[in-house]
């Protein structure tokens, strides 16, 4: 029996019952690839109890362990698939001669600009360090993937400026799909359904004290990071209370499951604003910590509509809001700010309302519409489900499968330098012979005399 190709997938995020986007992406892509390949998914952080869902037979999850254990796993693999910060603690991974795939789904430099905007010293140090880290990953990889065609445009620009796109690479693949292709964040093919705990309990929004069985509930999935705008949503919710006094807004995550990620300033500002209006635990709720991955569906299916708001920033334009995919999966009407690719999809398929930046009035009107207009709400639900059907992990992973079935090393990178005089003369001669050399020489001589 032919042995399966061995793939090692690495994330620095904890893979556990409570997971953020990078860990979820590593694990779910690992599950899909394990249908054909032998896959190990590695995280150096244990991060609590492991995920409850059973793993495929060809997938091994390794949690915890240092560089020595990782080197052993890497040397036993044919291809290594890393997220774009992994070489920082483990630079040796790029020196083993393995096929190296780079996941660029998170263009994190834009997030750093936002996160440290009030501290010039920290902003400069963090940005310069992570810029160098990112450059090292891009120079080392044999193949890269990102989350959208818009992101791919950005990354092609970076690869070009870096000097990675050369005539040799263009000859190898004019489409540049063998350099970078699109593997979006994904969704399960199985329709969403509520999960019960080991005690037979179902824990969701309606079990939160202060939220009734018939209250309309807006849900904010995921964390409250500094590049998000919860303040406009809070103000709009407050403005709706005269007409909808039982309206509820729930923030589903306030603390990343990664212990290295601090509670961000925007989380504190959102709580302070809600406290100032005396709405905390009355109309607006913050779930402390992080909802376990397998339980998120319980909260989402209890919601009336889902919200996601952000600012007019480069981070917005190139983002791929993974939380919004869960909204699609659960068939939720979505209220979101304009400016990103998923917002365009929502608008195209009538899956919700796409609103101007920081416009409390527009948000208030949209909230009232989605709560009061059942016909519009059902149409939005259908739009969400339609979009969800185009984002299954299995189909999204096809570019990865193609590479793994026929892997390649990219042409060797060499720093771009000015061509020598001899090289320039040979290039001119190949274009137009002696006549063009004489013509260019006369032009150059005349320029010198001017």
For residue range 118-165, list pLDDT tens digits in order.
Answer: 888 988 999 999 999 999 999 999 999 999 999 999 999 999 999 999
Q: Give the number of other Cβ atoms within 10 Å of residue 369's Cβ.
A: 16
Crossing angle (nearest 10°) for helices 230-240 and 360-372: 60
Confidence of residue 2 (pLDDT cuts 50, 70, 90): low
> In this model, does residue 314 exceed pLDDT 50?
yes
Query: Domain 6-186+394-405 is of which CATH architecture?
Result: 3-Layer(aba) Sandwich (3.40)
Confidence of residue 426 (pLDDT cuts 50, 70, 90): confident
- Of 53, 51, 35, 32, nearest to 43 by C-alpha is 51
- Tell me the per-residue pLDDT of 200-259, one tens digit each, with 9 for 90 and over: 677 899 999 999 999 999 999 989 999 999 999 999 999 999 999 999 999 998 888 888
3-state helix, strand, coil in the chain (%, to 5): 45, 15, 40
CA 221/CA 93 separation, integer angstroms = 34
Query: pTM above the 0.75 mark?
Result: yes
What angle is formed at CA 421 by the lines to CA 416 and CA 426, rounded to 5 degrees?
A: 95
- Predicted pLDDT of residue 422: 79
Domain assignments of the chain as residue spans, ordered by start:
6-186+394-405, 205-391
What does the chain come to in residues?
A: 450
401 in the Ramachandran plot: left (φ > 0), alpha (ψ -120 to 50) or beta? alpha
Same fold, 6-186+394-405 and 205-391: yes
Confidence of residue 415 (pLDDT cuts 50, 70, 90): confident
365 in the Ramachandran plot: left (φ > 0), alpha (ψ -120 to 50) or beta? alpha
- Of 149, 329, 115, nearest to 221 by C-alpha is 329
Confidence of residue 401 (pLDDT cuts 50, 70, 90): very high
The Cα-based distances of 88 to 14, 84, 92 in angstroms read: 17, 9, 10
CA 169/CA 411 separation, integer angstroms = 6
CA 43/CA 63 separation, integer angstroms = 5
Half-sphere exposure of 195 (CA within 13 A, CB side): 15
- Of 361, 366, 368, nearest to 235 by C-alpha is 361
- Of 199, 179, 280, nearest to 234 by C-alpha is 280
CA 134 and chain centroid, separation: 15
Query: Domain 205-391 is of which CATH architecture?
Result: 3-Layer(aba) Sandwich (3.40)
CA 222 and chain centroid, separation: 12
SS3 422: helix
Average of per-residue pLDDT across 77-101: 98
Round the CA-based radius of gyration of the chain to a whole number and report it. Answer: 25
Average of per-residue pLDDT across 300-313: 97
- Predicted pLDDT of residue 1: 45
CA 143 and chain centroid, separation: 18
* Residue-averaged pLDDT of the chain: 93
CA 152/CA 154 separation, integer angstroms = 5
Crossing angle (nearest 10°) for helices 21-33 and 398-405: 50
Q: What percent of the chain has pLDDT over 70?
A: 98
Average of per-residue pLDDT across 254-272: 89
The Cα-based distances of 161 to 135, 141, 157, 164, 416 in angstroms read: 11, 16, 6, 8, 10
């Amino acid at each position: 029996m032919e042995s399966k190709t061995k793939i090692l997938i690495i994330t620095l995020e904890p893979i556990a019952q409570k997971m953020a986007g990078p860990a979820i992406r590593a694990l779910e892509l690992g599950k899909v690839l394990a249908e054909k390949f032998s896959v190990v998914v590695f995280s150096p952080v244990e991060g609590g109890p492991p995920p409850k869902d059973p793993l495929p037979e060809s997938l091994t999850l390794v949690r915890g362990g240092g560089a020595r254990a990782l080197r052993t796993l890497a040397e036993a693999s044919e291809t290594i698939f890393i997220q774009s910060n992994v070489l920082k603690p483990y630079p040796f991974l790029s020196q083993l001669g393995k096929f190296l795939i780079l996941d660029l789904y998170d263009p994190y430099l834009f997030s750093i600009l936002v996160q440290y905007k009030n501290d010039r010293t920290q902003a400069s140090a963090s940005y310069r360090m992570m810029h160098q880290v990112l450059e090292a990953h891009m120079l080392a990889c044999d193949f890269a993937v990102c989350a959208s065609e818009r992101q791919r445009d950005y990354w092609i620009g970076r690869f070009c400026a870096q000097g990675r796109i050369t005539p040799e690479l263009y000859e190898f693949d004019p489409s540049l799909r063998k350099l970078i292709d699109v593997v979006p964040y994904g969704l399960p093919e199985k329709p969403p359904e509520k999960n019960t705990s080991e005690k037979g309990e179902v824990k969701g929004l309606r079990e939160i004290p202060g939220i009734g069985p018939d209250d309309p509930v807006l849900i904010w999935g995921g964390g409250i990071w500094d590049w998000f705008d919860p303040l406009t949503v809070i103000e709009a919710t407050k403005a709706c209370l005269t007409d909808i006094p039982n309206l509820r807004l729930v923030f589903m995550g306030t603390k990343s499951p990664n212990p290295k990620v601090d509670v961000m300033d925007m989380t504190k500002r959102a709580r302070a604003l809600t406290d100032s209006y005396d709405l905390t635990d009355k109309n607006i709720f913050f779930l402390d910590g992080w909802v376990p991955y397998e339980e998120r569906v319980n909260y989402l299916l209890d919601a009336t509509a889902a919200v996601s708001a952000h600012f007019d920033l480069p981070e917005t334009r190139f983002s791929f809001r993974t939380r919004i995919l869960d909204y699609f999966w659960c068939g939720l009407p979505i209220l979101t700010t304009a400016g990103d690719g998923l917002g365009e999809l929502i608008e195209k398929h009538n899956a919700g309302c796409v609103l101007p930046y920081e416009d409390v009035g527009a948000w208030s009107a949209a909230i009232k519409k989605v709560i009061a207009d059942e016909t519009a709400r059902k149409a939005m639900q259908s739009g969400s489900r339609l979009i969800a059907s185009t984002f299954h992990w299995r189909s999204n992973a096809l570019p990865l499968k193609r590479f793994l079935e026929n892997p390649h090393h990219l042409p060797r990178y060499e720093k771009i330098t000015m061509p020598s005089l001899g090289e320039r003369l040979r290039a001119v001669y190949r274009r137009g012979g002696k006549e063009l050399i004489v013509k260019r020489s006369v032009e150059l001589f005349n320029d010198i005399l001017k």
